[in-house]
């Protein structure tokens, strides 16, 4: 039986946060079926969200040490300032023997792999260095580059003591990064692609997909006022779930008597900052045929309501209005407005085991053909040590071929 895919929102505020009801951007995806988690963005305070999550409600508790991959959409502070504290939390410190640190003769494979735009590698490396951080466990940063980007070296002299060499992925002619990682989980392969989206600075959206039945696809977009650059990845099939930002909205006085801003003024402000309104999110969801729509990156002026509904709490009406605006523009269902610790399940029907085996065999052949150069984006590879090793645990095979790492199915 195919398992549910699940998204849990750890932070849903825009950069105006954190606020009393929302942390800044982060979410985790449980998509492999073996207990590991993938994170998208890691704002300040994300580590604490793992510790303060609601418990005793029948849901499985999220554990930070289960995060094996982190995907970063862009380099703005409200999306990256929690990365180094999170690494310090999950990476074991050096062993102490007779009062001195003892380091293994060779670095172990990375405990976590981080994917993101140019500059991310230097960002993580420099903060770890400046904070005098040392760990026994290791990490690797893979950068998603365009032809205009400068590469950050991964030679032994440049690496942090806790860092393994990372890959540089060069986009294709459409600006797309295909098959950043291909992971075989308990129920089949899961692939991550990425594409450009327009923000006031370079920004990326990530696509998590199954290249086989039931063909579920999750589109997680970073900050954007125009996500058309990623549309080639949202066709055939359309996304099962689209997570789109909705930073600001015009709320009528009939909903909130204190609201005074006009629609045109809100739209001008949101576009000037490179963001979207609920209507813009709904229009994009309609254009790509999204089956479900969740609004994220909510402006700090829109506080999340308390858990117990109160008819006198205007915040419920405001959130319902944001949902209504997106839903009407989308026209295909009810748009949800994310709140911290909200979980979204993407279920799948049962299929016969024989059909799964046939589908997997076909997918593996397609992926292998792509790796031989019959499609997908180009990869530039950093320098590294020779030798073959299991780079990311039992679910993903990687190779360090003397020029860097290359993911294998």
| Rounded to 5°, angle at Cα 195 from 162 and 168 | 35
pLDDT tens track, the chain, 409 positions: 457 899 999 999 998 889 989 999 999 999 998 889 999 999 999 999 999 999 888 888 999 999 999 999 999 999 999 999 999 999 999 888 888 887 778 899 999 999 999 999 999 999 999 999 999 999 999 999 999 999 999 999 999 999 999 999 999 999 999 999 999 977 789 999 999 999 999 999 999 999 988 899 999 999 999 999 999 999 999 999 999 999 999 999 999 999 989 998 999 999 999 999 999 999 999 999 999 999 999 998 898 876 556 667 888 999 999 999 999 999 999 999 999 999 999 998 665 545 545 554 554 455 444 434 433 333 544 333 333 333 443 344 333 333 334 433 3
DSSP assignment string, 135-172: -SSEEEEEEEE-TTPPPPP-STTTS-TTEE--EEEEP-
Report CA torsion sign: 382, 385, 388, 394.
negative
Say which residue the tokens 């308390």 belong to. Answer: 306
Phi then psi for residue 115, to 5 deg, are: -120, 140
Residue 31: name the closest of 227, 176, 214 by CA.
214
pTM of the model: 0.85
Residue 278: name the closest of 253, 299, 258 by CA.
299
């Amino acid at each position: 039986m195919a398992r549910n895919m699940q998204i849990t929102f750890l932070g849903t505020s825009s950069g105006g946060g954190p606020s009393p009801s929302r942390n800044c951007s982060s979410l985790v995806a449980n998509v492999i079926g073996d207990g590991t988690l993938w994170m998208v963005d890691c704002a300040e305070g994300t580590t604490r969200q793992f510790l303060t999550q609601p418990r005793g409600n029948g849901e499985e508790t999220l554990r930070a040490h289960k995060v094996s991959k982190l995907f970063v959409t862009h380099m703005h502070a409200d999306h990256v300032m929690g990365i180094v504290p999170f690494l310090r939390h999950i990476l074991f410190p050096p062993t102490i023997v007779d009062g001195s640190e003892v380091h293994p003769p060779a670095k172990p494979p990375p405990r976590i792999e981080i994917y993101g735009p140019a500059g991310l590698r230097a960002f993580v490396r420099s903060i770890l260095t400046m904070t005098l951080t040392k760990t026994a466990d290791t990490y690797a940063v893979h950068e998603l580059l365009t032809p205009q980007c400068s590469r950050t070296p991964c030679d032994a002299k440049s690496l942090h003591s806790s860092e393994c060499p990372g890959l540089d992925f060069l986009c294709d002619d459409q600006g797309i990064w295909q098959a950043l990682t291909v992971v075989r989980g308990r129920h089949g392969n899961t692939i991550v692609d990425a594409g450009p989206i327009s923000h006031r600075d370079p920004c990326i959206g990530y696509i998590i997909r199954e290249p086989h039945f039931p063909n579920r696809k999750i589109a997680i977009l970073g900050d954007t006022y125009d996500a058309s650059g990623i549309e080639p990845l949202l066709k055939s099939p359309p996304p099962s779930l689209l997570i789109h930002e909705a930073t600001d909205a015009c709320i009528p006085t009939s909903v909130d008597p204190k609201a005074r801003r006009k629609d045109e003024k809100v739209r001008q402000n949101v576009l000037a900052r490179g963001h979207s309104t609920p209507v813009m999110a709904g229009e994009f969801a309609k254009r790509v045929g999204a089956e479900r729509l969740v609004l994220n990156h909510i402006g700090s002026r829109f506080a999340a309501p308390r858990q117990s509904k109160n008819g006198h709490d205007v915040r419920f009406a405001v959130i319902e209005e944001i949902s209504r605006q997106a839903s009407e523009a989308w026209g295909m269902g009810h748009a949800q407005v994310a709140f911290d610790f909200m979980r979204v399940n993407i279920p799948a029907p049962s299929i016969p085991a024989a059909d799964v085996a046939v589908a997997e065999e076909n997918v593996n052949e397609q992926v292998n053909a792509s790796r031989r150069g019959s499609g997908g984006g180009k990869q530039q590879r950093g320098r590294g040590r020779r030798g073959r090793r299991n780079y990311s645990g039992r679910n993903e095979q990687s190779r360090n071929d003397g020029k860097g790492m290359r993911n294998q199915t």
